Amino acid sequence: MTIDPKEVSLGKLHAYLLGAIVPRPIAFASTIDSEDNVNLSPFSYFNVFSANPPILIFSPARRGRDNTSKHSYDNVLEVPEVVINMVNYPMVEQMSLASTEYPRGVNEFIKSGLTPVPSERVKPPRVKESPASFECKVIEVKRLGKEGGAGNLVICEVILVHLEDNMLTNDGLVDPFKLDAVARMGGNWYSKISRDVIFEITKPLTTLGIGVDGMPEAIRNSTILTGNNLGRLGNVEALPSRKEVENYNTTHKLSGRSSDELHRKAQEVLEKGDVSEAWLILLQNVEKW
């Protein structure tokens, strides 16, 4: 299926984009207008874009049905300050309630039952229940279009960070399980962090892997190993020596095994995280490398 954005309705294009580009973090943005009316609203067009300076960007898009602007957008033009609060699972229903399009001037803190806490460096309050909040100065608002559905990039510089102490690890980093963050999917769907869905991949920042193209052809074209398996195998800086492979065979008695058997065994070892041993197994039937 190939889609030309100009040949489908805005509603369908919106659904395709938000259904496929997932999960998206949620900026629960508290803003204030020139008359001190507070607004609290979630946006999933959001992410962090720089650490020095610390920059967050969220985008309150123009409404597709009538091309009107969101209150949050109007507010940051009047008072260029915002607190971006992260959303975790214990508050997700209240966050959803706050997304209701109440009339201008209605305080979503009150409607949702969430607790406003005075900020230290900006006028809008932060959300007490949020595990992480970022007080920000709005340094630029960039319109991406004039029609319904057009985004407005609100570029924010973080000037103060609030983190719940109990969501940090012993070495002071954010524990993803304790953060319990919620992310936006398409339609009415959300996702949450759990041990069943979160995993680690070591970043190849200090190593120069051989790459898939540096593998022996029989391994590169394996019908057993998956793309993920090859990606992990390609992250080693060098293959083991022939002597190391022979010594492994002496200990583990792999002579006579077919290539498919070796590849399956290596896959099992690889999925347990031992890349070095996986290579010792894979190279048993390879003559040159």
Q: For 243-258, what is each residue's pLDDT tens digit? A: 999 999 999 999 889 9
233 shares its domain with 171: no
Q: How far apart are CA 54 and CA 37, in angstroms?
A: 27
40 shares its domain with 136: yes
Q: Is 53 part of any domain? A: yes
**Strands laid side by side in the 190-192 sheet:** 24-25, 182-184, 190-192
**pLDDT at 203 (0 to 100):** 76
Per residue in 51-73, pLDDT (tens digit) is: 999 999 999 999 888 888 899 99
179 shares its domain with 244: no
**pLDDT at 193 (0 to 100):** 84
**pLDDT at 24 (0 to 100):** 96
Q: Is 201 part of any domain? A: no
For residue 224, the 8-state DSSP code is S
State yes or no: pLDDT of 155 exceeds 90.
Answer: yes
Say what the pTM is. 0.85
State yes or no: pLDDT of 200 exceeds 90.
Answer: no
Which residues partner with 55 through β-bridges?
A: 50, 157
122 shares its domain with 243: no
What would you report as the CA-atom Rg of the chain, rounded to the nearest whole angstrom?
26
Q: Is 197 part of any domain? A: no
The token pair at 167 is: 């969501």
Strand 46-51 relative to strand 54-58, pairing: antiparallel
Nearest to 81 by CA among 162, 156, 161, 163: 156
**Is it true that the peptide bond before 131 is cis, omega within 30 degrees of 0?**
no
Displacement of CA 286 from its chain's centroid (Å): 40
Please report which confidence band the pLDDT of residue 205 belongs to, taking 50, 70 and 90 as the band edges. Answer: confident
Strand 27-32 relative to strand 81-85, pairing: antiparallel
The token pair at 75 is: 């507010």
Please report which confidence band the pLDDT of residue 237 belongs to, taking 50, 70 and 90 as the band edges. Answer: very high
> Region 191-210: what's the mean pLDDT?
82
Which residues partner with 135 through β-bridges?
A: 83, 160
Question: Greater confidence, 84 or 64?
Answer: 84
32 shares its domain with 101: yes
114 shares its domain with 184: yes
Residue at which a domain ends, from 192, 227, 258: 192
Nearest to 234 by CA among 221, 248, 220, 245: 220
Is residue 121 within 8 Å of 211, Cβ to Cβ? no
State yes or no: pLDDT of 85 exceeds 90.
Answer: yes
Label residue 75 exposed, middle or buried (CB < 10 Å: 0-12, 13-18, 19+): buried
241 lies in which domain range?
Answer: 212-285
CATH of the domain at 179: 2.30.110.10
